[in-house]
Amino acid sequence: MNNYSTSPDSSFALRFFGLLVCAASLFSAKTVYAESDPLKKLMQTNNCVACHQIDKRKYGPQFDEIPAKYTNDASAVAKLAAKIKAGGTGVWGEDYMPPQPQVSDADAKRMAELIMALKPAK
């Protein structure tokens, strides 16, 4: 029994543990967004939650699908900020987003930035 070296066992344990950590981070990746908390607060104070959720489709598009649509668009933040205030239709379907005049310019821009920073859920 004492002839066995312990190192193969412990390196196996290390690798196994490393694998566990990787697997755990993979599974949790779906719900963890770096920017979701400040975005959620703004969505509540500006009443976006009536029609939008971050990771589920409600009346309007789910926010974590928006970045993929604008990946190669350098003006995406400006466009989305303007759309947030003006509303509109035709980008995600036939549904109409009414204008949101209660939203300040600063909040509209911040929300557009936070939406574009969402990592798509995989």
Footprint on this chain of ligand HEC (rule: CB under 6 A): 46-48, 50-52, 59-61, 66, 80, 83-84, 88-93, 95-98, 100, 103, 111, 115
Q: Are 69 and 115 in contact (CB under 8 A)?
A: no
CB of 27 to ligand HEC, least distance (A): 28
Which residue number, 25 or 45, has a Cβ lying nearer to ligand HEC? 45
Nearest residue to 73 (alpha-carbon basis) of 121, 116, 23, 27: 116
Which residue number, 10 or 104, has a Cβ lying nearer to ligand HEC? 104
Tell me the two tokens of residue 14. Answer: 């290390």
Nearest residue to 21 (alpha-carbon basis) of 29, 31, 32, 10: 29
Q: Are 87 and 95 in contact (CB under 8 A)?
A: no
CB of 98 to ligand HEC, least distance (A): 5
Which residue number, 37 or 95, has a Cβ lying nearer to ligand HEC? 95
